[in-house]
Amino acid sequence: MITNKLGEYGGDFSLLAQSVEQGLDFILGHFDSEGFIWPRTISTRTTQGRQILIYNKEEAHARFKQANYLDCRISAYPSTKYTRHLKQKPNFLFIDLDSQAFDLNKELNQTLANIKLKFENNDTEPTVLWSGKGYHIYLPIAALILEDESLFEDIEVYDPSRKFLQWSEQHLSNNKADPCHSMGVSFNNCMLRVPGSMNSKVNKQVTIVQSWNGIRPNIKLFLYDFYIYLVNMKLIELQGINIKAPTNAKRYYAYWRTKKK
């Protein structure tokens, strides 16, 4: 038993230790091997959601054990405390489907189909977790530092990499993802639940529904739609000002395409 009828936590939490250890290894396997994994932040029920900086896997396990394996999360991106002099690639996408206003299984299948369609790769298989009350989709991608791309300077977009994280979640889910998550997500707070741990809100264990197959689709196949979105947002921002929007979008098309062999 994890809880009693009063909803109080109890029981032998050590039974979760092995599953959380395996779950953490599973999540770490998604991160970009060309970069660095540590240091990274984690959070637990004990920290009340506050992020704690850790330097290795052993320290993460100790923190998770201290929290009785409740609400164990780890950041999708390395800590900016040590990367603030570097720019981040938006190379990990997180889609949160947990609304009870629609059929979750239907929207999950549609989102997975959208991912294959938008990235033009039928072999793309992201990780899908059941959080206890919804689905979390984790997709590593091959990305660029968008701030370094001259294209985004043309429309004077601030922080395009973070905007890409926010936009892609809604775009891939047909606007069915949690809007609060999308609006707030950034490189500093993209926190992933660890499989095997407990979601204390619903007293359910986080489980793996589908495992990522190791394929990283290329962000270039997806940036055309993102660029059009940014232009539209810029037009809305500049309503009433006489400007000319870029109409010859085809000249940007080749910029994002990768040559097919």
Structure tokens given for 229 = 């979105």
* CATH number of the CATH domain containing 238: 3.90.920
Q: Give residue-wise pLDDT tens across range 112-157.
A: 999 999 998 889 999 999 999 999 999 999 999 998 888 787 777 7
Does pLDDT of 110 surpass 70? yes
Identify the three-state secondary structure at position 136. Answer: strand
Can you tell me the mean pLDDT for 58-62? 97
pLDDT for residue 258: 45
Q: Does residue 181 lie in a domain region?
A: yes
Rounded to the nearest 10°, the torsion over CA 140, 141, 145, 151 is -140
Q: Which of 39-48, 124-133, 227-236 has the lowest mean pLDDT?
A: 227-236
Residue 82, classed as helix, strand or coil, is helix
pLDDT of 248 reads: 46
Does residue 190 fall inside a structural domain?
Answer: yes
Structural domain of 109: 13-256
Task: Specify the DSSP class assigned to residue 3.
Answer: B
- Rounded to an integer, what distance in angstroms lies between the CA atom of residue 248 and that of residue 206? 47
Is the confidence at residue 5, as pLDDT, over 50?
Answer: no
Q: Is residue 4 part of a domain?
A: no
**Residues contacting residue 219 through CB under 8 Å, at least 6 positions apart:** 90, 91, 141, 142, 143, 144, 164
- Asked whether residue 61 is domain-assigned, the answer is yes
Assigned domain for 6 exists:
no
DSSP percent split of the chain into helix, strand, coil, nearest 5? 35, 15, 45
| Residue 247: per-residue pLDDT | 46
- C-alpha 44/C-alpha 67 separation (Å) is 6
Does 242 fall in a domain?
yes
Least Cα distance to 199 among 1, 14, 2, 28 occurs for 2
The answer to whether 51 and 44 are in contact (CB under 8 A) is: no
Q: What is the structure's pLDDT at 252?
A: 44
Residue 51 has pLDDT above 50, yes or no: yes
Name the percent of the chain lying above pLDDT 70: 83
| Whether the predicted pLDDT of 103 surpasses 90 | yes
Mean pLDDT score, 225-235? 87
* Interatomic CA distance for residues 65 and 14, integer angstroms: 8
Any domain includes 77: yes
Residue 186 near residue 167, CB atoms below 8 Å? no
Res 157: pLDDT = 76
Both structure tokens of 227: 């660029």
Angle of CA points 193, 97, 23, to nearest 5°: 20
What whole-number distance in Å separates Cα of residue 130 and Cα of residue 124?
Answer: 19
Q: How far apart are CA 234 and CA 46, in angstroms?
A: 42
Average pLDDT, the chain: 85
Residue 224 located in a structural domain: yes
Q: Please give the tally of structural domains in the chain.
A: 1
Q: Who's near 39: CB < 8 A, 6+ residues apart?
A: 53, 54, 55, 78, 79, 81, 82
- Confidence (pTM): 0.87
Task: Answer whether residue 244 shows pLDDT above 70.
Answer: no
